[in-house]
Amino acid sequence: MADADEGASAPVSEPLDLVRLSLDEIVFVKLRGDRELKGRLHAYDSHCNLVLGDVEETIYVVDDDEDEEEPMKALSEFADYVERQQKSRQVLKPPTTVTSNKDSTVEDHAELDIIDSLGLAESVTHVRLKELLLSGADSDEGLSQLTDILRNRIEEGNGETLFELGYENSGESMALTKDEWEAAMERLQAAASTLNAECRVLITRNVGGEYDVETVSEKDKHADGKVMIRRKPDTVEDVIELRIAVVGNVDAGKSTMLGVLVKGSLDDGRGKARVNLFRHKHEIESGRTSSVGMEIMGFDSRGEVVASAVPGRKLSWEEIGNRSAKVISFTDLAGHERYLRTTVFGLLSSSPNYCLLMVAANNGLIGMSKEHLGIALALNVPVMVVITKIDICPPQILQQTIQQLTRILKSPGARKIPILIKNREECINTATQFVSQRICPIFQVSNVTGENLDLVRTFLNILPHHGHYDARGPFEFRVNDTFSVPFVGTVVSGVVKSGVIHTGDSILIGPDSLGQFATTAIRSIERKRIGVPVCSAGQSASFALKRVRRKDVRKGMVVLPKLEQSPKVYREFVAEVLILSHATTIKTKYQAMLHVGSISQTCAIIDIDRAYVRTGDRATVAFRFVQRPEYLAVGDRLLFREGRTKGLGIVKSVGYDPAKPLSPDASKMDENGSAVPAA
């Protein structure tokens, strides 16, 4: 918190202004060398982000042993602020216009246009789902209406939907008997088959069968259940794709867990399952991942794991992609502190939909696990936790690990609701509500005995699509890796941020060291090593480029459509940042490694809106890339570090004018931030 006059009440633009915390240790900003913090505390509603009023001056004293009791609240608040800033920059309708005539003035109101587009006057008579599900087999109209409802739900869910058979859309119970439920299930399957989709019963109540669970109340004798409806993909382009970043401390069992999930066979306790995921010889020898590894796991339209019929045999990516309706792409990241740069790059460049935090039961949340959790919270990525090695961990140590995790996840910094997944019912209910980002499921597994691995597979199968991508916007593709393939040429891989691209399209790739873009064309496109003719927003893909050498492309470049006007690149930009942890003050000329998506480059601070910033301060800062200009967009998330993470932020504007400094009076401030009187 910046120094403030005790008598003045400065306005608060965002709730973050009330607390300043560090990432590694929870320390309030030291004012004049002591640990007491004087200031005005602003009460606010964390959900609506409304400032409710001021409270009298309060003195906070932080003890040295509270680093796990009060985690980084400022980090969570800043992540929410960044999320709101990005949403506010989405393309809206044109602003209100006023057209003047001699006789009258006509005003066009965007609000009225939105209401008019809803078509409220053309509303259709509401039909209850129960009537459609229990209508006779000869009722074609009822089947057609039910099919339309399923089609809309499947499109909304990007190819799949979870249907609660036994409840109306409003949540009201249909009060079905067992026979009525079975008849409704047949009707649902008939409607799904017309859409080339399949149904899979996940859980039932008062129906009987393999997945039937006990009734909570004896009075509730109605039959209901949850059914997964997933469309069969006609081509590889229609396959549902989710990206999950796997993080955690070294020796937490990340690579082993992925090896067990992908191959379907258990580990031997000596690293048998992880060998296939390693890319280098020294990784196999040390057992530690040092690069960004990729693995995929497939589910068919029935929700079954796509695996080889031969035990222990691993299917190729082509086999998994051709047989799957849903593919989970795992990004296996390094856990050792030495490879933090690689891990941060993998987290930001892969644009993960979810984050899987691995914690060893016998170690707890230690080392880099806290760093990775903090980065995931800053990116606003939903987090799930898997506690491994429960087969070798004493019960009391396991309980301590669970208590530590629960305490940290419930803290103001994370604001999560931890849920221990112990059975199939909890797993399914949690997976359907996981997109809320408030829920954090915790699994306890063993890769040697296979305990609770079925719950993890069920959870991944139901996991809904998360993320917003603009397929109608201009095409933009971020390069996160480059290859040179024999008889193919230069290949770049990454994630399509927006738009659609086809094989043969002319594109621009760059910028190079001079900020220039090279013109080329798409020779071929592959997704999961399978050739496809088109790729759209939100999908990860690889492009083979024409007439481009491998040495001319690098990580951090962008692929854009060929237009008449060349894209603009910038060496300077302005961002709003939150300083998480730094031993001293940060001033101009400070340099650190900056990560923006797939961009990783050293940056220097050229201007700040105040004389200096300290741990916990939130400030507007102007950066300059040291090596070369880059392609940036307003709203991009950034993270800068010097060793460990030092701060994070959001790009507010591109370009910087030295004639308009962020704080013209910053040079006139003394060491304590007070104005220096004129001589």
User: Is the predicted pLDDT of residue 45 greater than 80, yes or no?
Assistant: no
- Gap between the Cα atoms of 25 and 15, Å rounded: 21
- Closest to 462 measured CA to CA, from 129, 163, 151: 163
Q: Does position 650 have pLDDT exceeding 50, yes or no?
A: yes
Q: Residue 357: its pLDDT value, please?
A: 95
The backbone torsions φ and ψ at residue 377, rounded to the nearest 5 degrees and listed phi first, read -65, -40
| Averaged confidence pLDDT in the chain | 79
Task: List, for residues 294-337, the tens digit of each pLDDT value.
Answer: 889 999 999 999 988 777 677 888 999 999 999 999 998 887 78
Cβ distance 637 to 650 under 8 Å? yes
Torsion of CA 299, 145, 466, 482, to 10 degrees: 60
Q: Quickly state the pLDDT bin for 626 (edges 50, 70, 90).
A: very high
Give the model's pLDDT for residue 283.
58
pLDDT of residue 346 exceeding 90, the answer is no
Interatomic CA distance for residues 603 and 589, integer angstroms: 9
pLDDT value at residue 12: 37
Average pLDDT rounded to a whole number, residues 653-663? 91
Give me the half-sphere count of Cα atoms (radius 13 Å) on the Cβ side of residue 361: 20
Query: How confident is the model over 548-574, as pLDDT tens digits?
Result: 999 999 999 999 999 888 899 999 999
- Burial tier of 646 (Cβ tally within 10 Å: 0-12, 13-18, 19+): buried
Give the pLDDT confidence score for residue 342 in this predicted structure: 85
The better pLDDT of the pair 10, 249 is held by: 249
**Range 592-601 average pLDDT:** 93
- Rg of the chain, C-alpha, whole Å: 27
**How distant is the alpha carbon of residue 186 from its chain centre?**
37
* Residues paired with 45 in a beta bridge: 50
Lowest average pLDDT, out of 150-164, 512-526, 535-549, 660-674, goes to 660-674
The reported pLDDT for the residue numbered 113 is: 60
Of 10-24, 70-84, 96-110, 130-144, which gets the smallest average pLDDT?
A: 10-24
How far apart (Å, rounded) are the C-alpha atoms in residues 223 and 207? 6
Q: Can you state the angle between helices 254-263 and 453-462, rounded to 10 degrees?
A: 80
C-alpha distance from residue 415 to each of 50, 364, 385, 412, 626 (Å): 18, 19, 15, 5, 37
For residues 492 and 318, give the distance between their C-alpha atoms in angstroms, rounded to a whole number: 19
Average pLDDT of 490-519? Answer: 95
Instruction: Indicate the angle between helix axes 140-156 and 178-194, nearest 10 degrees.
Output: 70
Least confident of 235-244, 257-266, 421-430: 257-266
What is the pLDDT confidence band of residue 187, given thresholds at 50, 70 and 90?
A: very high
19 burial type by CB count under 10 A (0-12 exposed, 13-18 middle, 19+ buried): buried
Asked if pLDDT for residue 65 goes beyond 50, the answer is no
Instruction: Read off the pLDDT band of 618 (50, 70, 90).
Output: very high
- pLDDT of 93 > 50? The answer is no
pLDDT in the model for residue 355? 94
Asked, as a colleague might, if the bond just before 511 is cis with ω within 30 of 0, I would say: yes
pLDDT number for residue 110: 56
User: Is pLDDT above 90 for 584?
Assistant: no
pLDDT at 428 over 60: yes
pLDDT greater than 80 at residue 363: yes
CB-based contacts of 256, cutoff 8 Å, min separation 6? 267, 271, 273, 274, 388, 447
pTM: 0.79
Q: What is the DSSP string of 204-273?
A: EESS-STTEE--SSTT---BEEEEEEEEPPSSGGGSEEEEEEEEESTTS-HHHHHHHHHH-S---SSSTT
Q: How far is CA 620 from CA 101, 587, 640, in A?
A: 45, 12, 14
pLDDT at position 210, please? 83
Laid out side by side, the sheet with 212-213 consists of 160-165, 224-231, 197-205, 212-213
Mean pLDDT of the 28-37 span: 32
Find all residues with CB under 8 Å of 115, minimum gap 6, and list them. none
Mean of the pLDDT values across residues 240-248? 93
End-to-end CA distance of the chain: 30
The more confident residue out of 48 and 511 is 511
What local confidence, expressed as pLDDT, does residue 114 receive?
56
Of the candidates 227, 378, 213, 252, the one whose C-alpha atom is nearest the C-alpha of residue 303 is 227
457: which DSSP letter? H
